[in-house]
Amino acid sequence: MTNTTRTNQELPFTPLNSDPQNTTNPVLYYDPNASIDDIYECAVFRLKAIISLLKNLDSYKDDPETINTLVSISTPLINEALTLLEELNPIALKLRLETQP
């Protein structure tokens, strides 16, 4: 496999926030040209998944290894949801300004 780094300008996708990816170069991306509804639906799905996961955390309070695993699973899901919601923020701001009297 060739290890080539492409700049964001060359990619049709936008990288998710890179800090939680734990890599030098981002490997997780999303399509910024997806519909607003799809971006929103994806973010909400991930947040609901995290909420469900954390609700189950109490039953594992005596198992530190399981708690560490749940935290490891939660971090990228929260990162994905945050990135998607940040993508929607400028659109929401524009809509608010357009609807103000």
- Return the bridge partners of 15, or none: 29
Which pLDDT band holds residue 73 (cuts at 50, 70, 90)? confident
pLDDT in tens, 8-28: 455 578 777 766 666 777 777
Q: What is the pLDDT of residue 1?
A: 42
Q: What is the pLDDT of residue 20?
A: 62
Q: What is the pLDDT of residue 39?
A: 85
Domain ranges, ordered by start, for the chain:
35-101
Assess whether pLDDT exceeds 70 at residue 7.
no
What's the mean pLDDT when you consider all of the chain? 77
CA dihedral 82, 69, 58, 18 (to 10 degrees): -10
Cα–chain center distance at 24? 18
Choose between 1 and 16: higher pLDDT: 16
Name, in order, each residue with C-beta under 8 angstroms of 6's C-beta and a sequence gap of 6 or more.
none
Q: What is the pLDDT of residue 83?
A: 83
